Structure 1
Amino acid sequence: MSRAFVKEPDGNAAFDELPERLISPNPNLVTESGLAGIEAEVERLSRAYAEAQASGDRAALNVAARDLRYWTARRASAELVPAPAETGEIRFGARVTLERPDGRRQEYRIVGEDEADPAKGTLSYVSPLARALLGKSVGDTVRVGPGEMEILEIA
């Protein structure tokens, strides 16, 4: 097909109008490490923006500018939540050890949306599992998929 009939931009023009990164409508709750991560990302992107500007790399400049706008907004809206002082019930920032019906144990920490990575043991506080866990205590069970998980420890 001739390129005359395709409206997709070529080369660097594809980066001229990047869509903005969506910002969650939920409160931007963060742990201390989450806030530090946001600060580090703003610094990294500020350097990337300056480097792209100096080199005249329009594509890199647009990507860095878009991501810098996102992380700057996340830093501005961050609400630091201190680690829970009590471990009697699950709250934001708590580490929770769960036991699956097959005996496997899993540990998760409930954190902010931007710092969540279930593969690394962190869950966003708005995730279905975290919502089911919040307010529960040791010995309680939560329904997850076809089975239930027991809460073994809260730290």
Structure 2
Amino acid sequence: MSRAFVKEDSDAPPPPPLPRTVSDAPNRVTPRGLRLIEEEVARLEQQLAAADEEGRPLIERDLDYWRLRRNTAHVERPPEDASSVAFGTQVDLIRDGKPMTIRIVGEDEADPKTGDIAWTSPLVTAIEELKPGDTTEFEAGGRIQELEIVSVSAVDR
């Protein structure tokens, strides 16, 4: 008989959630990034304490991820002399004629909507070590964009 028409045991527990993917890159974080990780661990520990059996696996998975990120974090302070684009700097640039400001931060701290860009991103790779006045080209969306570095300063957060 084909298994296609056999009723499955609906009392079987759902499979555990898959673990969250962890980047192979070193876990560089700003001081603010470490604070955010610690806040997330504390928040998830509180959720876990109040969770029912059904909600625990997902919270435990996320808590495992954030504990690992906390334990592997390499805190890097903004450079004293922020004369070139590097981790922990704020960069004012012109991208295809439009001004923009980005802050170069760790992967877990990144939020492109607020201008916080991961140090591993293609954009940061394209401008790393450039100084004010330097220009370069950057391919995005299948087209070449002009980038000009206007200023570089240490992230103040």
**TM-score, length basis structure 1:** 0.87
**Secondary structure in 1 matching 2:55:** helix
Query: In structure 1, what is the equivalent of residue 23 of structure 2?
Result: 24
Q: Which has the higher strand share?
A: 2
Q: Which runs of 5+ in 1 are unaligned?
A: none
- What TM-score results when the alignment is normalised by the length of structure 2? 0.86
In 2 relative to 1, CA 6–84 (structure 1 residues): closer, same or farther, beyond 3 Å?
A: farther
In the other structure, the counterpart of 1:63 is: 58
Match of 1:116 in 2: 110
Q: Which residue of 1 aligns with 2:82?
A: 87
5+ residue gaps, structure 2: none
In 2, distance between residues paired with 1:83 and 1:138? Answer: 17
1:43-62: CA deviation from partner (whole Å, max 9, x where unpaired):
0000001001xxxx223111
RMSD after superposition: 2.2
Match of 1:142 in 2: 136
Higher helix share: 1
Aligned length: 147
Cross-structure match for 1:13? 13
1:127 paired to 2:115: no
Q: Percent identity?
A: 35
Cα gap change, 1:135/1:10 in structure 2, threshold over 3 Å: closer, same or farther? Answer: farther
Conserved? CA contact 1:12–1:59, under 8 Å: no
Task: Give every structure 1 segment of 4 or more consecutive aligned residues whose post-TM-superposition deviation is greater than 4 Å.
Answer: 2-7, 9-12
C-alpha separation in 1, matches of 2:107 and 2:91: 17
